[in-house]
Amino acid sequence: MARETFNAGDELTEIHTHRAMQRRRLYRKSKLDRYRAEIVLLYKAGASCEDIAVWLRMKHRLKIHRSSVNRYLINLPELQEAEHDQVTDSKIQDRR
């Protein structure tokens, strides 16, 4: 009968991996994901979060608060890049 030796380093690595998996946040699909492209286009065209919330209520019968639309827009990568480009452009114009 072969007996395994206890390896504390391997056990600790296994525990850390297990804990990391437990605390990993899973993406929860938003109701707004279905209308993402339209929401981004409306926002880039100058619509406010309230305007987008009203549009969703009128066209898609989706009742959602303007603050929820704002939280959704803040986390979109395509809008974060656009805001970064605007900030960079304004800094370049200030230097001239």
Percent of the chain with pLDDT over 70: 78
Q: Render pLDDT for 42-81 as a digit per residue (tens, 0 to 9).
A: 999 999 999 999 999 999 999 999 999 999 999 898 888 7
What burial letters (b/e) apply to 49-64, b meaning 16+ CB within 10 Å? beebbebbeeeeeeeb
Per the confidence metrics, is the pTM higher than 0.85? Answer: no
Residue 40 is given by DSSP the state H
- Provide the pLDDT for residue 3: 66
